């Protein structure tokens, strides 16, 4: 009797988990049809060695433009 109860509880828990995962994947598919636009620019440091000295410069990756000048690190 105890084994049947444990099996029944396990079955209910597993079916609940798999049903929840199916609904999440359906929402993901719906979300993939929308266009996502970032609000902030992506900015990265770029590094370069000039005359044996390490320099860095900020680059706006979103617009592909330099933000700063080369400065020694």
64 found inside a domain: yes
Q: What is the DSSP string of 5-64?
A: HHHHHHHHHHHHHHHHHHHHHHHHHHHHTS----SSPPEEEEEEEETTEEEEEEEETTTT
C-alpha distances in Å from residue 8, one per residue of 5, 14, 18: 5, 10, 16
28 found inside a domain: no
- Domain count along the chain: 1
Give the three-class secondary structure for 4: helix
Identify the domain containing residue 67 by its residue range: 41-72
13 found inside a domain: no
Confidence of residue 17 (pLDDT cuts 50, 70, 90): low
- pTM for the full predicted model: 0.47
The residue with greater pLDDT, 44 or 1, is 44
């Amino acid at each position: 009797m105890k084994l049947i109860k444990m099996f029944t509880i396990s079955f209910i828990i597993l079916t609940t988990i798999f049903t929840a995962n199916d609904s999440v994947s359906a929402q993901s598919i719906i979300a993939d049809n929308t266009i996502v636009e970032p609000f902030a620019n992506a900015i990265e440091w770029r590094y370069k060695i000039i005359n044996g000295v390490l320099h860095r410069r900020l680059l706006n990756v979103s617009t592909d433009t330099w933000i700063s000048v080369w400065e020694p690190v």
